[in-house]
Structure 1
Amino acid sequence: MAKRITAGFLAVVLMVCLASMVMHRFQGVWIILLTIGGIVLGLWYAAFGSAPRSLLFNSMIRINDDDDPSNLPAIVVYPLLGAVITVAVLLVASFMKI
């Protein structure tokens, strides 16, 4: 349940970022499309509890289930994810000159 809540929260954060990009007339089409893709995947995971099966089967890499023992533990993943999100926010802020 916590993973679904986290995915939903991150989707809401991406929606706020997208709204900010649109309000500031950000011209990076690929960034906007990737943000929309992240919103869709986050909402999908929050609603159904897993990534879309078509994405899992058609991907070029092997994607494991959430409970697969070969996944990195949360104590490693969450700090890395936090660092990536922080860098992304700083990059967006620097592009928008906030």
Structure 2
Amino acid sequence: MRIKKGDSVVVIAGKDKGKKGKVLQVIPKNNKVIVEGVNIITKHQKPTGQNQQGGIIKREAAIDASNVMYFEKKADQGVRIGFKFLENGDKVRVSKKTGEVID
């Protein structure tokens, strides 16, 4: 996947369009990501165990990876990501807008 855990992303489609956040989890099997502060759902949770509290909990739900774009601070907008091989054979992610290596 082009998006990794810890990346800053901007939502480009859906009810949270325009929101920015950090990727908390990547689910490559379903091509989904969980972004901090985006796609908040209300979950009714039963108490489990002796010390666990039940009740209504707000948490982030998964959003499709195609609906987010890597956010580059230098360009101050979402950018597309490509791949490039370095001379030593390493494969790195590259910003399509600026051409800079991301990681």
* Fold match (TM-score > 0.5): no
Identify, as 1 or 2, the structure richer in strand: 2
Determine which structure has more spread, i.e. the larger CA radius of gyration.
Answer: 2
TM-score (norm 2): 0.22
TM-score (norm 1): 0.23
Identify, as 1 or 2, the structure richer in helix: 1
Relative CO higher for 1 or 2, CA cutoff 8 Å, sep ≥ 6?
Answer: 1
